[in-house]
Structure 1
Amino acid sequence: MPKDNAVTTNFKHVKFAVQAKKFDVALQLFETGALRAEMRARASTPPAGLEEATRAALRANDGVEVERQLMIFFAALARDLALEADRQLAEPGGTPERRAATGRKFLEAIWRYYNLVDFAIAMRDNKTSVAVRLAFDEAETYAKPVTAAAAPVDPTKIRQPLQRIAQALSALIETSSTPARRDS
């Protein structure tokens, strides 16, 4: 299990406060925490407006909308990491073992963020959740360290599942960026 960083820790605090219906506490944690700082740092990267939408949902005591905004944000973080991993693994040079190690580091980071919102994703779009988990498992298989009996590592094989992760999360972000009507 990947270790938490300041963003994931702040997310958990905000999430627990929202679940306890302590929206004032959640808003304060959001306003002063690493989660909002990361949203601001990525404000130029789609989807736009996450910080404002998250704040508005917290002020409106709308736990479902807070969860949706945070799901979109962490899906975007995981997508961006998958795209960057694919880009780096496409670059020539380095030993296969070194490139596989790079793939493992990216997979750990992707999972750190994706795992936080997998349940929320599965509740909204089970096919995407399954597709991401299957692609992640496949990528992990290709990134495993070489043992004496195993075939040599081919880090280029990691790229296809990373691309599928990025595509699935991009589609999820696009479809989730418009709130569903609750009164229908």
Structure 2
Amino acid sequence: MIAAYAAPTFAHHVGAYTPRDNEISTNFKQLKFSLEARKFEVALRLYDEGALRKELRARAGRLPRGLDDDVRAALQRGDAPEAERGLMVFVVALARDLALEADRQLAAARADARAAIGRKFLEAIWRYYNLVDFLVTQRNARAATTVRLAFDEAEGYVKAAPPAPERLGEPLRRIVHALTGVIETSSQSARRDSS
């Protein structure tokens, strides 16, 4: 499981607060800056040696087949859009898996612990999704809007007075559904483009 569920305050999509980075989000940002600067050799080294690839490989069974090879090949040939697509798919998968785990843990948690658990998971989900929101919006504006609206709804349930964490399941499931669609369509378009 990805570490760092505990963090300060709370994330929000309007940018008022950015969740504290962990090794994976830091590595993603390094890769993105290297790609934007067209420093592909640096990006390849950061990818090969970084926490993001290590986590990607650990989760390979839950990701589109060949994602690691696709990202690495795109970096080697200097194809920034394709490398970004692959990195986006991975980060979206992280957010999706956190939403799935949140739904599972909330269902099993004591009622008095659900709001705190919900806040921690929502922050972790946003830590990753916020990294790729722009890329997701470019590829699938409807999915991006669904994720943002579901996130806002879920956030409202854990911030309400009194909190209503028992209602988190539905927005979490919408997040999972939207992100799964992004993963599937992004992976299919990559396969079509390479044929």
TM superposition score normalised by structure 1: 0.91
> How far, CA to CA, are the matches of 1:167 and 1:33 in structure 2?
29
- What secondary structure sits across from 2:62 in the alignment? coil
What is the CA deviation profile of residues 41-68 of structure 1, one whole-angstrom value per residue up to 9, with x for unaligned ones?
A: 1112132322111101101100000110
Question: Alpha-carbon deviations, 1:140-183, whole Å to 9, x = none?
Answer: 00011x6xxx3x3221101110000000000111111023567x
| Matched residue type, 1:90 | A
Aligned to 1:94: 110
Match of 2:66 in 1: 49
State the partner residue of 1:160: 170
Q: Which residue of 1 aligns with 2:55?
A: 38
Partners of 1:30 and 1:42 in 2: CA distance: 16
Gaps of 5+ in 2: 1-17
Q: CA RMSD in A?
A: 1.5
Instruction: Find out whether 1:5 has 2:15 as its counterpart.
Output: no
Question: Is contact 2:63–2:90 with CA below 8 Å preserved after alignment?
Answer: no
The equivalent residue for 1:24 is: 41
Query: What is the number of residues matched between the two proteins?
Result: 176
What amino acid is aligned across from residue 139 of structure 2 in structure 1? R
For 2:66 and 2:157, the matched residues in 1 are separated by: 36
Tell me the residue number matched to 2:184. Answer: 174
Structure 1: unaligned runs, 5 residues or longer: none
Q: 2:82 matched to 1:82? A: no
User: What is the identity percentage for the equivalent residue pairs of Structure 1 and Structure 2?
Assistant: 58
> Among residues 71, 89, 102, which one is paired with 1:72 in the alignment?
89
Q: Find the structure with the greater CA-based Rg.
A: 1
Letter in structure 2 aligned against 1:138: E
What SS does the corresponding residue of 1:177 show, helix, strand or coil?
helix
* Secondary structure of 1:83 counterpart: helix
Partner of 1:113 in structure 2? Answer: 128
- Quick one: distance in 1 between partners of 2:61 and 2:23? 21
Tell me how far apart the structure 2 counterparts of residues 129 and 32 of structure 1 sit (CA, whole Å). Answer: 30
Give the aligned partner of residue 157 of structure 2.
142
Letter in 1 for 2:132: V
Corresponding residue of 1:132: 147
- Corresponding residue number in structure 1 for 2:8: none
Q: Which amino acid aligns with 1:113?
A: Y
Q: What TM-score, normalized by structure 2, do the two folds share?
A: 0.86
